[in-house]
Amino acid sequence: MSSSPDTPMRTAHTLALPDALAFARATDDLNASYTAGRCVPPVAVVGAPWPALRDVAGRAPAFADGIAFHLAHDVHYGRAILPGESLVTECVHFGERAGVFGREVTYRLVLRDASRSVVVDQYATVFVPGPAAARRIGSARPSHRFRATPPGSRPLATIEVDVPADQSFRYAEASGDRTPIHVSDDAARRAGLRGVIVHGMCTMAICHRELVRALAGGDPERTRRLAARFAQPLYPGTRLAISVQEVGRTNGTVSYGFEATSGGRSVIRVGRLDLAFDGGRAVQTRSTAR
């Protein structure tokens, strides 16, 4: 008997050290915290629950045609995750919002450790193109917006990085996400793209890598929240420019807002990174081109 999309799906999994390091290499992020086995890359934990997400998505009416684009992702971290740690993911169809050209569908994935404590709580939103009834189902995803910075404000840091030509293939291999638009030019063109595109979560991982280096003294274990809206596709073999500003401090956390562009086009809008406050030590800022 098939279950409804609202029924939680539970998946047990671990992210072994070799798999965590493969993810780190695929995103060019061999941080000492990862290579020493102190924690897994924060974005790597997003990929582990995808089997549960695919199962829930397959039971949702919005996916009748099997076509969807990753629109936004919001991850809340209770703590860093250790390599090889036993985790259980509960995935539910969280809510839908109809729009002019399709609908936004949000899934909530809660990762618990062996003691049943929540270590990661994340919301994945996809856009499903096509006719959509003017209705709302379930709950709206949490907002990760912040108060707008004054016009003309200078970024705290501006970082430019080159995106390797084989980036989407490397990430697909390490993450297990082989969605056709990321590995097949033909499939990407059928979807209206000019060729394969970089995974949204890979783009987020690249931004996280650079922001941790610039703002957290290279310590990814301070990550408490990472969120972004994927505005336009990022193509391999291009340059990504990331600008970031501090947007607030509260409850032992410092929050940063970031945007990312490529070729003059906005790739990530309303990016947000929350870091555990380090007790007042000045952040390291920089403007680089790599």
113 with 98, same domain? yes
121 with 189, same domain? no
Distances 285 to 116, 246, 289 between C-alpha atoms, Å: 38, 11, 13
Point out the domain boundary residue: 142, 169, 195.
Answer: 142
Q: Do residues 244 and 215 make contact, with C-beta atoms less than 8 angstroms apart?
A: yes
pLDDT for 1-28, tens place per residue?
Answer: 344 556 677 888 888 999 999 999 999 9
- Would you state the pLDDT for residue 289? 35
66 Cβ contact list (under 8 Å, min separation 6): none
Average the pLDDT over 30-58 and give the result: 78
Task: Write the CATH number for 94.
Answer: 3.10.129.10
51 with 190, same domain? no
Q: Which is more confidently placed, 282 or 22?
A: 22
191 with 274, same domain? yes
- Pick the range with the lowest mean pLDDT from 34-38, 39-43, 131-135: 131-135
How many domains in the chain? 2
- Would you state the pLDDT for residue 288? 37
Sign of CA dihedral 25, 31, 34, 37: positive
pLDDT for 141-176, tens place per residue?
Answer: 777 777 665 555 667 889 999 999 999 999 999 988
134 with 241, same domain? no
164 with 287, same domain? yes
Point out the domain boundary residue: 142, 176, 202.
Answer: 142
191 with 209, same domain? yes
101 with 180, same domain? no
Domain that holds residue 135: 1-142
Predicted confidence (pLDDT) at residue 56 exceeds the cutoff of 60: no
3-state secondary structure of 170: helix
Share of the chain above pLDDT 90, in %: 58
pTM for the full model?
Answer: 0.86
Point out the domain boundary residue: 116, 142, 168.
Answer: 142
230 with 274, same domain? yes
Q: What is the DSSP string of 41-100?
A: -TTHHHHTTHHHHHHHHHTSGGGTT---EEEEEEEEESS---TT--EEEEEEEEEEEE-S
Q: Which is more confidently placed, 24 or 69?
A: 24
Task: For residues 210 and 259, give the distance between their C-alpha atoms in angstroms, rounded to a whole number.
Answer: 12
In which band, very low, low, confident or very high, does the pLDDT at 58 lie, cut at 50, 70 and 90? low
Predicted confidence (pLDDT) at residue 240 exceeds the cutoff of 90: yes
The first and second tokens of residue 8, run together, are 């939680």
21 with 74, same domain? yes
Phi, psi of 20 (to 5 degrees): -65, -40
132 with 193, same domain? no
Predicted confidence (pLDDT) at residue 61 exceeds the cutoff of 50: no
147 with 273, same domain? yes
H-assigned helices in 94-240: 167-175, 180-183, 185-190, 200-215
Q: Which amino acid is at 210?
A: E
Entry field: residues in the chain: 290
Task: For residues 99 and 210, give the distance between their C-alpha atoms in angstroms, rounded to a whole number.
Answer: 34
Average the pLDDT over 233-249 and give the result: 95
